[in-house]
Amino acid sequence: MRKAIMPLAITCLLVACQPAPQPLSLGQDVCAHCKMTIVDEQFAAELVTTKSKVFKFDAIECMMAFLKENDQSNYALYLVRDFESPKDWQDATTSSYLISKEIPSPMGGYLSAWNNEQSASKMQANKGGEVHTWAEIVTLFEE
């Protein structure tokens, strides 16, 4: 019995240390930047630090503003949700982004995230605007 506890404890510790996405509880969680209650999963975003501290945001533009104001070096995960199927987190750094005046986001950035470039371009053809990559969005918000 005692032999089993030690490895188990170590595994638990290791698992606990791994930065992992945390689910949203809509209507309860508050945006770390603008203090608004998060109710719209389509635009939600999340940062997880290397020490597993989680920051949630009601809009991607809030996450970008937060990144600009705070130290950028220690984040393990950058997460956003796909505009069309916003049930799960996806990696923000590989997502595509659409800035379109026809899709108002919670904090006035008109910014939505997409699973892949095709779907973003499809919506762009429909609603207008510009498609960006993560790197472009980062530089855009640093200005």
Partner 1 sequence: MFRWILTCFLIPMGQGAIWANNILVCPTCPVFSVKEGIRLADPCDTVTVDGGHFAEGNLLIDKELWLIGKNWPVLDGEGKTEIITVASNHVHIESFKIENVGTSYTEDRAAIRLREVSDFCIKNNQLKNAFFGIYSQHSKNGIIEGNTVHGEAKEEVSSGNAIHLWYCDNVKIINNWTSGHRDGIYLEFVNSSTIKGNLSEHNVRYGLHFMFSNDDNYLQNTFRNNGAGVAVMYSKRIGMHGNLFEKNWGPSAFGLLLKEIHDSEIEGNQFQENTVGIFAETSNRIVYSKNNFIQNGWAMRISGGCQNLQITSNNFIGNSFDLAVHTSGVDNKFDGNFWSDYAGYDLDHNGIGDVPHRPMKLFSHVVSQTPESMVLLRSLFIDILNFSEKVSPIFTPENVVDNQPRMKKWTVVSTVKTTNNALPNPPLPGKFLQPAMNSQEGAENHLK
Binding site for partner 1 (CB under 8 A): 26-30, 34-37, 39-42, 84, 86, 104, 107-108
Minimum separation from the CB atom of position 7 to partner 1 (A): 31
Minimum separation from the CB atom of position 109 to partner 1 (A): 12
What residues are paired with 45 via a beta bridge? 57, 80
Instruction: Give just the sign of the alpha carbon dihedral 36, 40, 43, 45.
Output: positive
Q: Which is nearer to partner 1, 69 or 143 (CB)?
A: 69
Q: Where are the beta strands (DSSP E) in the chain?
A: 45-49, 54-57, 75-81, 89-91, 96-99, 111-114, 130-133
CA 103 to CA 70: how far, in whole Å? 28
Q: Which is nearer to partner 1, 7 or 27 (CB)?
A: 27
Minimum separation from the CB atom of position 8 to partner 1 (A): 27
Q: Which is nearer to partner 1, 84 or 130 (CB)?
A: 84
Minimum separation from the CB atom of position 143 to partner 1 (A): 19
Minimum separation from the CB atom of position 29 to partner 1 (A): 7
Q: Which is nearer to partner 1, 81 or 132 (CB)?
A: 81
Q: What 3-state class would DSSP assign to 58?
A: coil
Q: Which is nearer to partner 1, 41 or 117 (CB)?
A: 41
Looking up tokens 């705070």 gives 70
Cβ neighbors of 124 (< 8 A, separation 6 or more) are: 98, 100, 130, 131
User: Do residues 39 and 22 make contact, with C-beta atoms less than 8 angstroms apart?
Assistant: no
